[in-house]
């Protein structure tokens, strides 16, 4: 099945999305920091079951092809993304849908599932966290300077954004996410986790250098009835590196 690419106006911005499959079960893929459907979900758009699922991958505002506007990080940027994501799916006429969120997209998905429970069918998150610790801030500052990134990770993003926008947005993200650590409990969305009522599957790579395992365990503990899968060899991008295994696990769950 081909992958269509289009834009639709949502909450005053033109959001870009890719769509494929004709299944009755709609699934939204939510990318990570600086991510887009194109950079973050190639193996999912290509290989997930097109008979069972209709798959939508979106570019959050200021990311991918959803520019303009330029990306910014106000204190409520995760809530804003969650509302944009849900409103996008409604604009596309999906009454109920599942969320697959990676990294920042996982945080967005947690918030969306908690705030819009009647719309969300099932939830899968990986590489996500509900709070920011001082240790996390140290890790984020380690990736602040994009010139130090590996070529493999850097190249697709530089091609998409140009070096200047990519570098500037990464720095702004580090500042934006570090803001949460200034609160007494580092909270992003901890208080919302008990409100998530849909079936939830949390996946974590045991070798994830960006998100310590304690975050996945915390989310699992606070979402009633959720399932946690640890992938011993998985890093942050386990859905790309181990796409076949990941897709199978997720399809079985959905």
Fold observed for domain 3-132+189-253: Rossmann fold (3.40.50)
**In tens digits, what is the pLDDT along the chain, a chain of 254 residues?**
699 999 999 999 999 999 999 999 999 999 999 999 999 999 999 999 999 999 999 999 999 999 999 999 999 999 999 999 999 999 999 999 999 999 999 999 999 999 999 999 999 999 999 999 999 999 999 999 999 999 999 999 999 999 999 999 999 999 999 999 999 899 999 999 999 999 999 999 999 999 999 999 999 999 999 999 999 999 999 999 999 999 999 999 99
Q: Cα–Cα distance between 23 and 238 in angstroms, integer?
A: 25
β-pairing verdict for 97-102 and 25-30 = parallel
Our answer to whether residue 215 is catalytic in this structure is no
Q: Which residues contact 142 (CB under 8 A, 6 or more apart)?
A: none
| Residue tagged active-site, from 36, 66, 98, 103 | 103
Contact 104, 33 (CB under 8 A): yes
Tell me if residue 208 is catalytic.
yes
The residue annotated as part of the active site, out of 16, 25, 236, 239, is 236
Catalytic residue flag (residue 36): no
How is residue 4 annotated by DSSP? Answer: E
Number of residues that this document lists for the chain:
254
Q: Which residues pair with 53 in a beta bridge?
A: 25
Tokens of 221: 């503990």
Sort residue 127 into left (φ over 0), alpha (ψ -120 to 50) or beta.
left
Residue ranges covered by each domain of the chain: 3-132+189-253
The active-site residue, picked from 208, 215, 226, 239, is 208
């Amino acid at each position: 099945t081909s992958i269509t690419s289009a834009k639709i106006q949502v909450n005053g911005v033109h959001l870009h999305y890719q769509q494929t499959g004709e299944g009755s079960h709609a699934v939204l893929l939510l990318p990570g920091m600086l991510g887009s459907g194109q950079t973050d979900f190639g193996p999912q758009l290509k290989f997930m079951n097109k008979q069972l699922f209709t798959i939508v991958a979106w570019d959050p505002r200021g990311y991918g092809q959803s520019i303009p506007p330029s990306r910014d990080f106000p204190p409520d940027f995760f809530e804003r993304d969650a509302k944009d994501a849900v409103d996008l799916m409604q604009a596309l006429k999906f009454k109920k849908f599942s969320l697959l969120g990676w990294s920042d997209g996982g945080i967005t998905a947690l918030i969306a599932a908690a705030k819009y429970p009647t719309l969300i069918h099932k939830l899968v998150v990986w590489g996500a966290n509900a709070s920011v610790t001082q240790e996390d801030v140290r890790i984020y500052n380690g990736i602040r300077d994009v010139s130090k990134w590996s070529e493999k990770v850097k190249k697709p993003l530089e091609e998409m954004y140009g070096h200047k926008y990519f570098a500037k947005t990464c720095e702004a993200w580090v500042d934006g996410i570090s803001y949460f650590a200034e609160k007494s409990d580092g909270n992003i969305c901890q208080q919302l986790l008990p409100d998530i009522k849909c079936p939830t599957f949390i996946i974590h790579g045991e070798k994830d250098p960006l998100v310590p395992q304690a975050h996945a365990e915390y989310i699992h503990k606070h979402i009633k009835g959720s399932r946690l899968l640890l992938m011993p060899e998985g890093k942050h991008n386990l859905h790309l590196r181990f796409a076949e295994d990941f897709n199978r696990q997720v399809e079985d769950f959905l």
